[in-house]
Chain A
Amino acid sequence: MANLSFIIFCPLVAAVLIALLPRTFNVLFRAVALLATGLSLLGAVRVFVGFDSAATGLQYEQHFRWVDALGIGYHVGVDGLNVGLVLMAALVAFAAVCVSREIRERQQLYYMLVLAMAGGILGAFASFDLFLFYFFHELALVPTFILIGVWGRGAQRNYATFKLTLYLSLGALVALIGLIALYVQAGQTSFNLLHLTRHLALNPMAPGTQSWIFGLLLFGFGILVSLWPFHTWAPLGYAAAPTAAAMLHAGVLKKFGLYGLIRIALPLLPAGAQSWMNLLALLCLGNILYCGLVALRQRDLNHLLGNSSVAHMGFAFLGIASLNVLGVTGAVVVMVAHGLLAALSFALSGFLYHRLGTLEMDQMGGLLQRLPFVGGVMVMAMFAGCGLPGFANFPGEALVLFGAWKSYPTVTVFACWGALVIAAVYMLRAVRAIWHGPPLDRWKDLVDAPNLWVKLPYALLLAGLLVFGCFPRLLTDPMQPVVSQIVQRIHGETVTP
Chain B
Amino acid sequence: MNAVLPWLVLLPPLLAAVTITLGALKRPVAAARLSIGAIAVSLAASVVLFARDASGVTSFTWLQVGGLAVEFGLRLDPVSLLMLLVVTGVGGVIHVYSWGYLEGDPGRPRYFAGLSLFSFAMLGIVLSSNLLQMFVFWELVGVSSYLLIGFWHARPAAAEASKKAFLTNRVGDFGFLLGLVLVWTTMGTLELRELEARLTVQPGALGAAATAIGLLIFCGAVGKSAQFPLHVWLPDAMEGPTPVSALIHAATMVAAGVYLLSRIFFLLNAPALTVVAWIGGLTALLAALMALQQDDLKRILAYSTLSQLGYMVLAVGVAGAEGTPVAAMYHLATHASFKALLFLGAGSVIHALHHQQDIWRMGGLARRMPVTFLTFLVATLALCGVPPFSGFYSKDVILVLAWEHHASLLFLLVVFVAGLTTAYMFRLLLVVFAGPARSQDPDHAHESPPVMTVPLLLLAVPTVLAGFWGHRRLVGTGLRCAGLPHRFVGGTSDCPVRACAGAGSGGPGRGVPWRWRGLAAVPGCVARSAAGTPGPVEPVDAGSILLRRVVRPTDCRHSGRGGLVGRRV
Q: Which residues on A are within 8 Å of B, measured CB to CB?
A: 324-326, 329-330, 366, 368-369, 372, 383, 386, 388-390, 394-395, 398-399, 401-403, 405-406, 412-413, 416-417, 420-421, 424-425, 428-429, 431-432, 435-439, 472-473, 476-477, 480, 484
Say whether, besides A421-B167, A425-B167, A402 and B153 are in contact (CB < 8 Å): no
B132 closest partner in A (C-beta): A398
What is the CA–CA distance of A388 and B174 in the complex, to the nearest angstrom?
13
Q: Judge whether B200 is part of the interface by a CB distance below 8 angstroms.
A: no
A329 touches B66 (CB 8 A): yes
Label chain B's interface by main secondary structure. helix
Partner of B154, one of A372, A390, A438, A484: A438
B124 closest partner in A (C-beta): A389
Residues of A within 8 A of B143 (CB): 383, 388
B111-160 interface with A by 8 A CB criterion: 132, 135-137, 139-140, 143, 146, 150, 153-156, 159-160
Give me 14 A-to-B residue pairs in the complex whose CB atoms sit less than 8 angstroms apart, sorted by A's number.
Answer: A325-B66, A330-B65, A372-B25, A388-B143, A399-B63, A401-B181, A402-B184, A405-B185, A420-B173, A420-B177, A428-B167, A436-B156, A438-B155, A476-B63
What is the CA–CA distance of A389 and B134 in the complex, to the nearest angstrom?
11
A366-B154, A438-B156 given; name 17 further pairs at CB < 8 Å: A326-B66, A326-B68, A389-B140, A390-B136, A390-B140, A416-B177, A420-B170, A420-B174, A425-B167, A435-B153, A436-B156, A436-B159, A437-B156, A472-B63, A473-B62, A473-B63, A476-B64
A389 touches B62 (CB 8 A): no
B242 to chain A, nearest CB (A): 20
A326 touches B181 (CB 8 A): no
B170 touches A472 (CB 8 A): no
B67 touches A432 (CB 8 A): no
A413 touches B178 (CB 8 A): yes
B153 touches A437 (CB 8 A): yes
Residues of A within 8 A of B265 (CB): none
B265 to chain A, nearest CB (A): 24
A326 touches B136 (CB 8 A): no
What is the CA–CA distance of A417 and B178 in the complex, to the nearest angstrom?
10
Say whether, besides A402-B68, A402-B181, A421 and B171 are in contact (CB < 8 Å): yes
Q: Judge whether B163 is part of the interface by a CB distance below 8 angstroms.
A: yes
B62 touches A472 (CB 8 A): yes
What is the CA–CA distance of A453 and B255 in the complex, to the nearest angstrom?
44
A377 to chain B, nearest CB (A): 11
B1-45 interface with A by 8 A CB criterion: 25
A436 closest partner in B (C-beta): B159
Q: Which residues on B are within 8 Å of A, measured CB to CB?
A: 25, 61-68, 132, 135-137, 139-140, 143, 146, 150, 153-156, 159-160, 162-163, 166-167, 170-171, 173-174, 177-178, 181, 184-185
B42 to chain A, nearest CB (A): 19
A326 touches B65 (CB 8 A): yes
Partner of A437, one of B159, B166, B185: B159
B64 touches A406 (CB 8 A): no
B160 touches A388 (CB 8 A): no
A437 touches B154 (CB 8 A): yes
What is the CA–CA distance of A184 and B137 in the complex, to the nearest angstrom?
52
B504 to chain A, nearest CB (A): 45
A214 to chain B, nearest CB (A): 23
A434 to chain B, nearest CB (A): 11
What is the CA–CA distance of A329 and B66 in the complex, to the nearest angstrom?
9
Residues of B within 8 A of A399 (CB): 63, 65, 68
Partner of B166, one of A368, A401, A424, A435: A424
Q: Sort A-B residue pairs by CB-CB distance and give the 4 closest, nearest first.
A: A325-B66, A436-B159, A389-B136, A436-B153
A473 to chain B, nearest CB (A): 6
What is the CA–CA distance of A388 and B117 in the complex, to the nearest angstrom?
14
Partner of B163, one of A324, A429, A439: A429
Say whether, besides A437-B154, A472-B62, A326 and B67 are in contact (CB < 8 Å): yes
What is the CA–CA distance of A416 and B139 in the complex, to the nearest angstrom?
15
Say whether, besides A424-B166, A438-B156, A394 and B136 are in contact (CB < 8 Å): yes
B106 closest partner in A (C-beta): A369
What is the CA–CA distance of A329 and B64 in the complex, to the nearest angstrom?
11
Residues of B within 8 A of A438 (CB): 154-156
A122 to chain B, nearest CB (A): 26
What is the CA–CA distance of A389 and B170 in the complex, to the nearest angstrom?
13
What is the CA–CA distance of A436 and B174 in the complex, to the nearest angstrom?
26
A411 to chain B, nearest CB (A): 13
B154 closest partner in A (C-beta): A438
A440 to chain B, nearest CB (A): 11
Residues of A within 8 A of B132 (CB): 398
B21 closest partner in A (C-beta): A376
What is the CA–CA distance of A325 and B20 in the complex, to the nearest angstrom?
40
What is the CA–CA distance of A326 and B66 in the complex, to the nearest angstrom?
6
A480 closest partner in B (C-beta): B65
B185 closest partner in A (C-beta): A405
B498 to chain A, nearest CB (A): 42
> Which of A389, A438, A477, A480 is packed against the most chain B CB atoms within 10 Å?
A389
Residues of A within 8 A of B174 (CB): 416-417, 420-421
A448 to chain B, nearest CB (A): 12
B379 to chain A, nearest CB (A): 33
What is the CA–CA distance of A215 and B156 in the complex, to the nearest angstrom?
51
A438 closest partner in B (C-beta): B154
Residues of B within 8 A of A372 (CB): 25
A436 touches B167 (CB 8 A): no
Residues of A within 8 A of B155 (CB): 438
A368 closest partner in B (C-beta): B153
What is the CA–CA distance of A476 and B64 in the complex, to the nearest angstrom?
8
A410 to chain B, nearest CB (A): 11
What is the CA–CA distance of A372 and B113 in the complex, to the nearest angstrom?
15
Partner of A324, one of B66, B139, B153: B66
Residues of A within 8 A of B150 (CB): 436
Residues of A within 8 A of B64 (CB): 473, 476-477
